[in-house]
Structure 1
Amino acid sequence: MWRCCYAETQSMKGLILNCLGRKEEAYEHVKRGLRNDLRSHVCWHVYGLLQRSDRKYDEAIKCYRNALKWDRDNLQILRDLSLLQIQMRDLEGYRDTRYQLLVLRPAQRASWIGYAMAYHLLKDYDMALKVLEEYRKTQTVKPFDYEHSEMLLYQNMVMREAGMTEEALKHLDNYDAQLVDRITVKEVKAKLLVELGRTEEATKIYWELLDRNPANWESYHGLEDSIKPATPEERLEIYTLAAEKYPQALVPKRLSLNFTAATPEERLEIYTLAAEKYPQALVPKRLSLNFTADDVFREHLDKFLRRMLHKGVPPLFVILRPLYKDHEKAKIIEDVINGYAESLKECELFDKNDDAEKESPTTLLWTYYFLAQHYDVIGQTKQALEYINVALEHTLTLIELFVVKARIYKHAGNIHEAVRCLDEAQSLDTADRYINSKCAKYMLRANMVKEAEEMCAKFTREGVSAMENLNEMQCMWFQTECATAYHRMGKYGEALKKCQEIERHFSEIIEDQFDFHTYCMRKMTLRAYVGLLRLEDVLRQHPFYYKAARLAIQIYTHLYDHPITDSDDTQQADQENLSESELKKLRNKRRKKAKQEALRLEKQRQEESRREAQKAKNPDAELDGPKEEELVPDKLAKTEDPLGEAVKFLKPLQLLAPDRIETHLLAYEIYSRKGKLLLMLQSVKRSYAIDKTHPQLHLCLAKFLHTVMTKQEETLPEPVSSVLKKELEMMSGGMSPLSLNTAFIARYPRSLPHQFAGGRVMYFLDPSLQDQAVDMATKIDNDTEGVTLNLCIDILESLRRGDFGKCDTVACDFKERCHELYPYALAFSTPIDNNTPDLKAKANNIDNADSANILLNGTEP
């Protein structure tokens, strides 16, 4: 007896020490208690609590199960176990645990609700409804009981997910008096009536919803669905009636323009009528431009542009941007707006023959502003810069002009000049956080990480470095851009650190749901709780995570091919062969590197001391979760298993983003380095199912086919060989890699992306065809399709990287050709061509020639 009490006392002491942050001592005492009494449910429970605090949920579940062996009816252990099971989505185990809790505490509401929800999540709707119904029978109804109302609405939600439409509608009618959320009741009932074909009743409910909120778009869409013969005339009648009933509401006026009449003439008649009826409305005037053409389009465009330019609407170009998909309409827009510019400059009128009041000088300013964006979109950078410069001469203090000028330079490939423009815009209004963030983003695109951090520091917490504060705030747009900048600069450790920080943000968001399991059950917010669980299951579909994961995989595969080693030892060994001047440069470089390392360590020590001081002031701040391992860039870059780290980022993408071809192409790059033939086949097959014409897929398929043919000569196992042969015949048509590549090149003779991929495969299969492969990959004529700035940069980098062997002369020639196509792009210019003096000065102060080239040209040599 004494031994048992002593063991539990030791465990409780360990629990207290854990709450004080002394984890090592805590584990020591808890393990000592377990050694003294392995049959104590208290010791096992405490050990599970410690594991849970360190987020080792699987281990904690094992501890709880061991505790239940010695006290199977312990409510607290069962509750803790159920929380971990729903957190880990062990739904079957969660169901069994909730059943035990229901048996032990049938009078508690959470016992019934938790048990029913377990069946709901398992999609056993019938059993979930039976449990909820049995619980409902035990309840006494109170007036305006919100929690009981939520339980009924949750029950109705289960019915609808089970496809029980009639039963769900009947359920709403039976318990209508007990439902407090009247808006939700009406919306759900209307949708159910539409599904059942009872459109007249649904229409009545939607009108009631519009009486309450005439600006609700969903109600109008539902009203459209509730009309059985949905002819344009009947739908127009609905919206006309709604506009008369709610004269101040904009939604019926806007939605009346969505439906399609039989012919463009009929549609134009509707929009003309709407424009006359609502003279201040913008939507009918704009939407009429979508389907009109030629002279009719010009006439309506003229009226629209005159009004918007007269009022000075900055997003005018954004409003008209969708029309640029039609080249004829883009040409008409150009003719009309150029006519305005000439006439306004000459006589301050839109048309010289107009008998109207003269326009204000700002009208000409907004015309130049529109023209600059127009020429930027159609790729005529020179004209775009001319018009934006004229606009700046007109009004030098308009921030929007600097933003557009920066965007023009960015699209042209001169990110440094874009940064200069945005920096000037930011200086005009230092309190504008949007301009501040935009400027920081452009700085990161220009690899100016330190400057971007200083820019963001204007809006971050004082006393903390901007980088750390942005990490605390989970500012992932900054971290993704920062990681990409470090990657371009070759600082792979720093880039991986940012990717790992983004990964931790998503892990923290998933961990934070732990606090809601008991809260939502207690507050009966059941529908929102189910929505939360389903959101957390697909959280890593977010674009921020995809960008970070893709970049991390690319870096890890690069590190596998080119592992980072300590080059100082090699340099030490070769010092005997260096001249005096080279030795002096080497010593200066090492001295500078040592100084930078000392500064970094000093900064790290100061940061740690600040954290310790903050922790001393608030000792409970660090006890919410386990202390994360510090992310050291050098350690991340020198990982022993880069492919294993890459797979950790790949798995969520394969699970949650399987419809993106990049996911499977990245998987192929990893598994090809691992030599996993069947996984390589899986990646190629999934990519083929998404887009079999993708250039990068052709490169992977040809290489894989070549690898398999080489391996077969080494006698693959029969099952593996048969599977590979069968699947590859379906994708390649039984052709050899060389024949497959020849057919691919012939299929896309004018597409530069496909010719580039075909040229890479040609050189890979037969290096003696280097000249032909290079000519194919770099051929740009007037009829070549798919030519973009980014693609040309990729081709130039590929030539420099050696994907086509040694071809420095060809790379120089291709660079000159691209410079003619994109004269403002820094990637194709030489330092002499660059007209940015401050960048030259920065480049001259850099010892490393590669870093200077990155700063000036935006690419690695």
Structure 2
Amino acid sequence: MPSSERLPPKESALFRKLLKCYEMKQYKNGLKLAKQILSNPKFTEHGETLAMKGLTLNGLGRREEAYQYVRRGLRNDLKSHVCWHVYGLLQRSDKKYDEAIKCYRNALKWEKDNLQILKDLSLLQIQMRDLEGYRETRHQLFKLRPSQQASWIGFTMSYHLLGDYETANIILETFRQSQALVENYDYRNSELLLYQNQILIESGNYEKALEHLTKFSAQIFDKLSLKEAMGDLHIKLGQQSLAVPIYEQLIKRNPENVLYYAKYFEAKGITDNGSKLAEYKKFQESYPYAMCPKRLPLDIAFGDEFREIIDGYLRRGLRKGVPPLFVNVRSLYKDPEKTSIISQLVHEYHQNLNESGHFSKDDCEQKKPVEPASALLWTLLFLSQHYDFLRDTDKALKYINLAIDHTPTLIELFVTKGRIYKHAGNPVEAYKWLDEAQSLDTADRYINSKCAKYMLQANLITEAEEICAKFTREGISAMENLNEMQCMWFQTECALAYQRLGKWGDALKKCHEVDRHFAEIIEDQFDFHTYCMRKMTLRSYVGLLRLEDVLRAHPFYFKAAKCAIEVYIRLFDKPLESEKTVEEIDTENLPPAELKKLRNKQRKAKKKAEIESAQAAQAASKKEQHQKSKQQNPQEADPEAPQLDELIPEKLERPEDALEKAIDFLKPLQTLAKDRIETHLLAFEVYSRKNKILLMIQSVKRARKLDSTNPVLHACIVKLLIALTEENVNNFHPSVKSVVEKVRTELSGGKTASALNDDFIRKYEKSVPHLLEGAKMMYILDRSKKEEAIKLATSFDMENACIEDCTKVFECLRCGEFGECEEQLKTFKERCHKRFKYACLFSEAKSEENHGDEVPDTQTANS
């Protein structure tokens, strides 16, 4: 790398050694070499040496000094591509990719054909998805090194990602022909051919893609991908007769692949259920041990045919003792007729097993072999799961208790009993049974994790952490280790538990930790940009890039973001104030009993603060020792790791602008989770508080496209109409005013907000969620209708209501959304307790600390 300020031979040799030491991560030796060059009075301000010294210091984790030296070097030699390149590398290590790209572009002004700078620039451009810039850079690299394989592949990929499939195919075909003379038919060549075929398929040129596969089938080693692609192409080209034998071979290879059966029927042109059932019977005979041919017919069979098939399927599962048998057939419960048939059959099994040890009376009369003793146990388990799914808690508990009496050592029974209590609204009793299950096998990580999850749903965060500590690294707290391992299910459940407890700062900390995990996953793709092109795993690489583009659409991120947005909205509505000490509170006018309570509370808080302070000091000491060990062993340090701000709950729960923080979480959802109505309902709540009328309208219109009958959407529409008063509309710009008036007419149909709400209530008079939102809007529109609104929200038929709906109504009453209503709340609670006698929320013995007073617990737990 020639310097703009020439060094004498001796110093030049030292500088080359310095570069070598940096590449080999010998940072201390590199510093010595830099010192030797800079100790020469003539070169104390040599820009490139100063820059390299800064880069070496960065490798040792001394970032502030690194920036000082690199900037000093750049000031001394602004025309040096080395200084600009080093500054770009430093910015890249701090994940400031935009700034790094600017530095690389400046470096290229002084050394436009530098390969290393061009490669580094291309990596940043693909990382930031600057595809146009990436194409230009790869084109330049291609011109400079046309003999290198990576130049061709990178150039091809730049056009592929931009959607120019024809050009990408031409480049790849030219490269393949130039390599044809070598005849190196290895795995990399196979992957290259499959990647080229993927480009042809995505371009829609199916005929050419099929010709390509046929021509090079001998050179393709991945025979499974080859057959799948050929079968799919034959179907797309209308050559069904050629596709049938391919899918028969694929089913033979893997009879458990559901997609193969669907494609097989498509290839044979079979659409009626009767023909499909006949084909499934053939597959059952050919592959007697495969589950797919036995399970898939259940989705399309009805009546007596269904009874016959499900009878054999259930008998086999109960006889063999298949634990997930109920989970396998649970999707069939959408059909009431199928639910009834399953219920009749399993009750018959239970009765006959008790009487004769057979599944049916016919088996007993024909003197068939007696079923194994465990068949009764698994039948009882199935019945308990069946009634739990139907939310008949009494019957579910009856059968699970019989099963436990039969075999008190089977872990699945205790897990199921815990799940029954969870669905019945008793998370405390649920976690106790999961704790019992994990005590039977403490080495089972699944049961351990399940128990921890149930504890978090019961708001027992400390206990959940202790349970998880059995499988985390020693010498570090379980919470920290779970964060290091990106255990996001734990952190999302933890955030929801803190939210329910009203510990807003701790909830936000967990949400931000999850957000950082996703940021880390996106940053981790950086290493694959060069690796995948070198190893020729091109199809997987394109899949990785496309996955990373939609990464935050993952359910874990959605749960964390939703929780964070709700907490920030709450903190905006009711900001936290700094806690007053006993001296600041007017204690003279307090009754003795209240003063005693206050002092006890302050004493406990002080003791808790002292314990937390001691724990923090201990953690800081460990961290300091860890940092010292890293400095002693710089090879272990990661210079690429960015310095992240520490997440302190006390600071997080007192944000300067809560709504802007909420929008930071909201934006990825609006881009990647726009098909979920909750995204737009949350957006409305945020923008309504910022008084952004047009954004409120946008959120409502997007939500209406997804589900115009959503009850919360109705509440948003009423709130929007309230905000769009004549006075407010007249203050808008004329162009905005015309849009607003058009939307107002479209949403209300020319009616007032009150009339629209009355129509809504009449239309959905039998739906509890709709009646609740209608009642809330009635109270907001006219405070004098408080009694009528409460009666509307609470006087529904309790027998047909589910626990989730009743919980929402109860929390609305308790949180004051209808004002003061102690008597109505007490009456409604008594009604709910009669209907849901196992639910903690409606029990008199309910622990208040397990339910936050601010945010309703509306999370519906999935089994």
TM-score w.r.t. structure 1 length? 0.88
Contact 1:49 1:60 in 2 (8 A): yes
TM-aligned CA deviation for residue 195 of structure 1:
2.4
User: 2:225: which partner in 1?
Assistant: 184
User: 2:65: which partner in 1?
Assistant: 25
Contact 2:61 2:637 in 1 (8 A): no
Q: Matched residues in 2 for 1:310 and 1:70: separation?
A: 77
Q: Matched residues in 2 for 1:5 and 1:100: separation?
A: 34
Q: Matched residues in 1 for 2:198 and 2:286: separation?
A: 42
Contact 1:11 1:43 in 2 (8 A): yes
Q: Judging changes above 3 Å, is the alpha-carbon distance between structure 1 residues 92 and 398 closer, same or farther for their aligned structure 2 residues?
A: same
TM-aligned CA deviation for residue 64 of structure 1:
1.2
Q: Judging changes above 3 Å, is the alpha-carbon distance between structure 1 residues 290 and 622 closer, same or farther for their aligned structure 2 residues?
A: closer
Q: Judging changes above 3 Å, is the alpha-carbon distance between structure 1 residues 141 and 169 closer, same or farther for their aligned structure 2 residues?
A: farther
Match of 1:13 among 53, 59, 62: 53
Q: Give the secondary structure class of the aligned counterpart of 1:826.
A: coil
| Residue deviations 1:539-590 (CA, integer Å, cap 9, x gap) | 1111000000011000000000011111315971422322444333323322
User: 1:110: which partner in 2?
Assistant: 150
Matches within 5 A, 1:56-455: 56-139=96-179, 140-176=181-217, 178-203=219-244, 205-206=246-247, 221-227=262-268, 230-231=269-270, 260-261=273-274, 305-346=314-355, 348=357, 350=359, 354-355=364-365, 356=367, 361-455=373-467
Q: Give the secondary structure class of the aligned counterpart of 2:333.
A: helix
Matches within 5 A, 1:615-694: 615-618=627-630, 619=634, 620-694=636-710
TM-aligned CA deviation for residue 298 of structure 1:
5.5
Which deviates more from structure 2 when the two are superposed, residues 558-567 or residues 158-167? 158-167
Q: Judging changes above 3 Å, is the alpha-carbon distance between structure 1 residues 605 and 378 closer, same or farther for their aligned structure 2 residues?
A: same
Which deviates more from structure 2 when the two are superposed, residues 711-720 or residues 345-354? 345-354
Q: Matched residues in 2 for 1:658 and 1:86: separation?
A: 25
Which deviates more from structure 2 when the two are superposed, residues 437-446 or residues 103-112? 103-112
Which deviates more from structure 2 when the two are superposed, residues 216-225 or residues 524-533? 216-225
**Paired residue type of 2:675:** D
User: 1:49: which partner in 2?
Assistant: 89
Contact 2:332 2:339 in 1 (8 A): yes
**Paired residue type of 1:95:** R
User: 1:752: which partner in 2?
Assistant: 768
Q: Matched residues in 2 for 1:351 and 1:711: separation?
A: 76
Does 1:779 pair with 2:788? Answer: no
Q: Give the secondary structure class of the aligned counterpart of 1:534.
A: helix
**Where does the alignment leave 5 or more consecutive residues of structure 2 unmatched?**
6-41, 859-863
Q: Give the secondary structure class of the aligned counterpart of 1:462.
A: coil
The answer to which structure, 1 or 2, has the higher relative contact order (CA under 8 A, 6+ apart) is 2
Match of 2:827 among 794, 805, 813: 813
TM-aligned CA deviation for residue 108 of structure 1:
2.1
Contact 1:445 1:485 in 2 (8 A): yes
TM-aligned CA deviation for residue 345 of structure 1:
3.8
Q: Give the secondary structure class of the aligned counterpart of 1:143.
A: coil
Q: Judging changes above 3 Å, is the alpha-carbon distance between structure 1 residues 822 and 782 closer, same or farther for their aligned structure 2 residues?
A: closer
TM-aligned CA deviation for residue 42 of structure 1:
1.7
| Residue deviations 1:506-564 (CA, integer Å, cap 9, x gap) | 11110000001111122222221111111110111110000000110000000000111
TM-aligned CA deviation for residue 335 of structure 1:
4.0
Q: Matched residues in 2 for 1:394 and 1:524: separation?
A: 58
User: 1:561: which partner in 2?
Assistant: 573
Q: Judging changes above 3 Å, is the alpha-carbon distance between structure 1 residues 574 and 387 closer, same or farther for their aligned structure 2 residues?
A: same
User: 2:31: which partner in 1?
Assistant: none
Contact 1:826 1:858 in 2 (8 A): no
Q: Matched residues in 2 for 1:65 and 1:147: separation?
A: 33
Q: Give the secondary structure class of the aligned counterpart of 1:780.
A: coil
Q: Judging changes above 3 Å, is the alpha-carbon distance between structure 1 residues 150 and 330 closer, same or farther for their aligned structure 2 residues?
A: closer
TM-aligned CA deviation for residue 161 of structure 1:
1.2
Contact 1:672 1:680 in 2 (8 A): yes
Q: Judging changes above 3 Å, is the alpha-carbon distance between structure 1 residues 189 and 282 closer, same or farther for their aligned structure 2 residues?
A: closer
Q: Matched residues in 1 for 2:591 and 2:798: separation?
A: 51
**Paired residue type of 1:433:** R
User: 1:801: which partner in 2?
Assistant: 815
Q: Give the secondary structure class of the aligned counterpart of 2:731.
A: coil
User: 1:789: which partner in 2?
Assistant: 803
Q: Judging changes above 3 Å, is the alpha-carbon distance between structure 1 residues 7 and 777 closer, same or farther for their aligned structure 2 residues?
A: same
User: 1:737: which partner in 2?
Assistant: 753
Contact 1:615 1:622 in 2 (8 A): no
Which deviates more from structure 2 when the two are superposed, residues 667-676 or residues 40-49? 40-49
User: 2:28: which partner in 1?
Assistant: none
Q: Judging changes above 3 Å, is the alpha-carbon distance between structure 1 residues 395 and 198 closer, same or farther for their aligned structure 2 residues?
A: closer
**Paired residue type of 1:374:** H
TM-score w.r.t. structure 2 length? 0.88
Q: Give the secondary structure class of the aligned counterpart of 2:74.
A: helix
Q: Judging changes above 3 Å, is the alpha-carbon distance between structure 1 residues 197 and 341 closer, same or farther for their aligned structure 2 residues?
A: closer
Q: Matched residues in 1 for 2:371 and 2:245: separation?
A: 50
Q: Judging changes above 3 Å, is the alpha-carbon distance between structure 1 residues 405 and 698 closer, same or farther for their aligned structure 2 residues?
A: same
User: 2:737: which partner in 1?
Assistant: 721
Contact 2:206 2:237 in 1 (8 A): yes
| Residue deviations 1:104-163 (CA, integer Å, cap 9, x gap) | 222222222212211111112222223223333433332324333333332222122111
* Identical-pair percentage: 55
Q: Judging changes above 3 Å, is the alpha-carbon distance between structure 1 residues 277 and 13 closer, same or farther for their aligned structure 2 residues?
A: closer
Q: Matched residues in 2 for 1:709 and 1:600: separation?
A: 51
Q: Give the secondary structure class of the aligned counterpart of 1:698.
A: helix
**Where does the alignment leave 5 or more consecutive residues of structure 1 unmatched?**
233-258, 835-842, 844-849
Which deviates more from structure 2 when the two are superposed, residues 49-58 or residues 157-166? 157-166
Contact 1:144 1:180 in 2 (8 A): no
**Paired residue type of 2:115:** L
Paired residue total: 809
TM-aligned CA deviation for residue 417 of structure 1:
0.7
**Paired residue type of 2:397:** L
TM-aligned CA deviation for residue 783 of structure 1:
8.0
Matches within 5 A, 1:518-557: 518-557=530-569
Contact 1:4 1:37 in 2 (8 A): no
Which deviates more from structure 2 when the two are superposed, residues 477-486 or residues 25-34? 25-34
Q: Give the secondary structure class of the aligned counterpart of 2:46.
A: helix
Which deviates more from structure 2 when the two are superposed, residues 497-506 or residues 606-615? 606-615
CA RMSD, 1 decimal: 2.9
**Paired residue type of 1:516:** F
Q: Matched residues in 2 for 1:401 and 1:509: separation?
A: 38
Contact 1:3 1:37 in 2 (8 A): no
Which deviates more from structure 2 when the two are superposed, residues 489-498 or residues 204-213? 204-213
**Paired residue type of 1:330:** T
TM-aligned CA deviation for residue 790 of structure 1:
1.6
**Paired residue type of 1:632:** I
Q: Judging changes above 3 Å, is the alpha-carbon distance between structure 1 residues 700 and 221 closer, same or farther for their aligned structure 2 residues?
A: closer
